[in-house]
Structure 1
Amino acid sequence: MANRDFRLDTLRGIFLAIMMTDHLGTRMAEFTYQPLGFVSAAAAFVMLSGYMNAYTSPAINPGPPALLRQAWKRAARVYRYHFVLLLALLALAMVMTSYLHRPTPLYPDHGGALAMLLYGALLLHQPSYMDILPMYFLFLLLSPPLLAALHRGHDRIVIGASIACWLLGQYFDPQEWLEQRLGTGVSTGSFNLLSWQLLWVSGIYAGFLHKVRRQTAFFRHPACLAIAVVLAAGFFLARHQLLPVSNALLAYVEKEDLRILRVANIASQAVLFCWLIRLVPASRGLPWFSLLGRYSLPVFSFHILLVYLLEPLSWRVAYWSGYSVNFLYTAAVLATLTLPALFYRAYERALTAGGARTWAGRMRAMALAGRHPFSGGKPVRALDAK
């Protein structure tokens, strides 16, 4: 706890709240969707997750087996959340057929519920908002060879290979190719993995430098700051149409393939972030956002289910109500993100108090957490004994 960086938890919580607002689809999304430039909360979340993955990995000669075990443990946890979400959305669709028709349909074109479950389990069909977890799962499996290479000093190979994959992604989308070959109407996600791995690898590298080599002086040269300020300001003005930009140029800020100008915008904001974060001690953070960020996986999964569940109400609020009602509705929905964070915190404490982490122990811990989700800092078992 003493070594925890509450600044990063706070940032992850902020990104989660922004994604919730964007996906909810109320008028508040006008203020939260890419407000500082052509940088989405999803991109920042992926990069920060890569950083945290490397920073929490073993620092001293971990060896490939240890890295593989840790990566598989984390990836398996992400996959469990993904699969449970698929089951929950399938149950929701069976109750209300209106949930079937999304920007990305819940079911593939050829096949119903069983096809959706099968292709979804194989990560070959990802309904709306469901493409972050599969991407996270695959990137976690990619991390052990990257970290092993970095521990051996092959920094240039890792960074060079990542840039080469990103360049390939500017001309080729492996998911589109796979969808065409399958011919079943499945959707393998809107993010080109060849391109988006650049964000994950950049985060991995920054986390490795910080954890293993104790390097924290990123982009300290004043020239880096000056360039970043100019670029960030220019992208901000262009994003809000305060600077005349041609449509041809805007094509280079495209999100799905992570085009070159979007990468430049992300890089400029990353430099500014590295300068600004030094002004805040690691022990400081915004408590509510920090709580969400610490339990980001259950909170993120809960937000997807909530977006689907509330969609019939959300679009009516957005269409028929003014900004004040939209604000109150969005704030109320955001407040519910506290629930999975509190529940998982209580679950963790019950699990720790229970000793061995067997399936029976996990079920008991879930039951205890359900009875005492607001236990705060008190041991959950002590509460249950009362």
Structure 2
Amino acid sequence: MPPAPAPPSQRSWEIDAARGLMLLLMTVTHLPTRLTSPLGQPFGYVSAAEGFVLLSAYMAGMVYGRVAWRKSVAEMHHAFWRRALKIYACHAALLLFLFTVIAFIGIRIEQPAVVDLLNFYVRQPFTALVGGLLLLYEPPLLDILPLYVLFMLASPWVMVLAFVWGWRLVMLVSGLVWLAAQFGLSHGVYDSINALVPLPVPFNETGAFVMWSWQFLWMLGLWMGATRNDPNAPAFAFPRWSVLLAIALAIFLMGWRHLVGQIPFHADGPYAPFNPWFDKWALGPMRMVNLFALVVLAIHYGPRLAARMPRQRWLETLGSASLPVFCAHLVLVLVVLVGLGAKYDRPWLQDIALLAASFGVLYAVARATLWLERHQKEDTTPPAVLAPGQKRPPMYPPTPARTAMQPAAQDPPRAKPIPG
């Protein structure tokens, strides 16, 4: 993450590359291969999901916060809602694909991996379909996009509150909600709603991710991204002692994870009660400590590494089209599960071929998405009106045109919008 404010019209290629890396790690984690376990949570007790959500929130805060700075708060609301609608449409399409193609084939051939995935749908298909479209029923693998929809809908209101009251109050409230989620807030909210309006979807089918915990991660990224649009915003900086502490924690937790495994304490051991502290779904306290340590190191050392390392443009391409690539990776995982099952003992050559083919498909999806977006912008741009006697400029200028990955000239700072 860049330590200095980004120009309002500049796209952060470092963030795109990092998101592309998170997408690849999620693909490796979800595809059943011999690399699933070794590359799951490779940096400690933190998965690619945390990094992807944090980076996506950062980009949302920076991009849509820029809309509020340059245009108006109303335009920011509309931009968030349009994105939420697009994400919902992707979720609905994936849900229908799962309930039709995957369900038909998987149940017909009695594929255990698919039957287990669709256990509730098999028992109550109509309730599952309606509940899925209402974001109540969230089957495995399809339980993160509903979070994105809800976070996108809530984000403009949160940013307006931050404009008025400041981000400290927002983050304080968000942190308290995360703390309450560690003590069963999610189940309590479900029981309260169920007492008023009986819910047809049981609690264990409402998704593995605890929304009340993950909202803190989203708010953190939203705050970090939104503040980058202020020309007077100070750079993200940390005292030396905090960087040294982050290094020690990151090395210790990464070594622990790879020596012991993804579950820090044996289920039958005396320290098993401490496993929830590392829980992924509720973002346990030690998991947040591990994540904060990595964030500090990424902010502190990231710009230096980015300046010295060659740009990985293929990762930038994946990150630039993150939503279509994310959806494509879920389609690939579902197809592999219905065709090959959840087998992790295939020959290495087959696993490598499967991963290589999957990465190739994701890259092709990203390239096609960016090509379509570029041509749609060109098609919707109205032609310039020429004055009498004026000649139309040449189609191909003598200097290379700026690409989507190259920074544009910095726009002059705009006045801070008045909420309302």
Worse-matched range after superposition: 126-135 or 242-251: 242-251
**Equivalent position to 2:76, from 67, 80, 94:** 67
Count of residues in Structure 1 that have an aligned counterpart in Structure 2: 356
* Cα distance change of structure 1 residues 136 and 46 upon mapping to structure 2, 3 Å threshold: same
Q: Aligned partners of 1:80 and 1:142: how far apart in 2?
A: 18
Q: Aligned partners of 2:41 and 2:21: how far apart in 1?
A: 13
How do 1:215-254 and structure 2 match up within 5 A?
A: 215=233, 217-241=235-259, 246-254=271-279
Letter in 2 for 1:66: E
**Equivalent position to 1:348, from 344, 354, 373:** 373
Gapped runs of 5+ residues in structure 1? 358-376, 378-386
* Number of the residue aligned with 1:165: 177
Letter in 2 for 1:339: A
Instruction: Please report the RMSD computed on the Cα atoms of aligned residues, expressed in angstroms.
Output: 2.8
What SS does the aligned partner of 2:217 have? helix
* Cα distance change of structure 1 residues 192 and 242 upon mapping to structure 2, 3 Å threshold: closer
Worse-matched range after superposition: 83-92 or 171-180: 171-180
How do 1:340-379 and structure 2 match up within 5 A?
A: 340-355=365-380
* Number of the residue aligned with 1:118: 130
**Contact between 1:24 and 1:314, CA under 8 Å: does it hold in 2?**
no
What SS does the aligned partner of 1:217 have? coil
**Equivalent position to 2:332, from 299, 306, 313:** 306
* Cα distance change of structure 1 residues 235 and 216 upon mapping to structure 2, 3 Å threshold: farther
Q: Aligned partners of 1:101 and 1:242: how far apart in 2?
A: 30
* Number of the residue aligned with 2:323: 297
Q: Aligned partners of 2:114 and 2:46: how far apart in 1?
A: 28
Q: Which one has more relative contact order, counting CA pairs under 8 Å at least 6 apart?
A: 2
Give the drift of 1:101.
3.6
**Equivalent position to 2:26, from 7, 19, 25:** 19
Give the drift of 1:60.
2.2
Give the drift of 1:188.
1.4
Letter in 1 for 2:35: M
Q: Aligned partners of 1:193 and 1:2: how far apart in 2?
A: 32
Worse-matched range after superposition: 347-356 or 272-281: 347-356
Q: Aligned partners of 2:310 and 2:83: how far apart in 1?
A: 27
Give the drift of 1:154.
1.8
Q: Aligned partners of 1:219 and 1:252: how far apart in 2?
A: 28
Give the drift of 1:29.
1.2
Q: Report whether the alignment pairs 1:272 with 2:297.
A: yes
What SS does the aligned partner of 1:28 have? coil
* Cα distance change of structure 1 residues 182 and 132 upon mapping to structure 2, 3 Å threshold: same
* Number of the residue aligned with 1:192: 210
TM-score, scaled to structure 2 = 0.77
**Equivalent position to 1:318, from 308, 322, 344:** 344
Q: Aligned partners of 1:257 and 1:319: how far apart in 2?
A: 30
* Number of the residue aligned with 2:106: 96
Q: Cα deviation per residue 1:43-98 (whole Å; 9 max; x = unaligned)?
A: 11111111000100225276542232111111011001111111212221124314
Q: Report whether the alignment pairs 1:84 with 2:93.
A: yes
* Cα distance change of structure 1 residues 333 and 106 upon mapping to structure 2, 3 Å threshold: farther
* Number of the residue aligned with 2:42: 35
Letter in 1 for 2:173: A
Q: Aligned partners of 2:38 and 2:363: how far apart in 1?
A: 22
* Number of the residue aligned with 1:137: 149
* Number of the residue aligned with 2:386: none
Give the drift of 1:164.
0.9
Gapped runs of 5+ residues in structure 2? 1-7, 266-270, 383-402, 404-420
Q: Report whether the alignment pairs 1:255 with 2:280.
A: yes
**Contact between 1:63 and 1:148, CA under 8 Å: does it hold in 2?**
no
Identity %: 28
More helix by share: 1
Give the drift of 1:249.
3.0
Give the drift of 1:242.
5.9
TM-score, scaled to structure 1 = 0.84
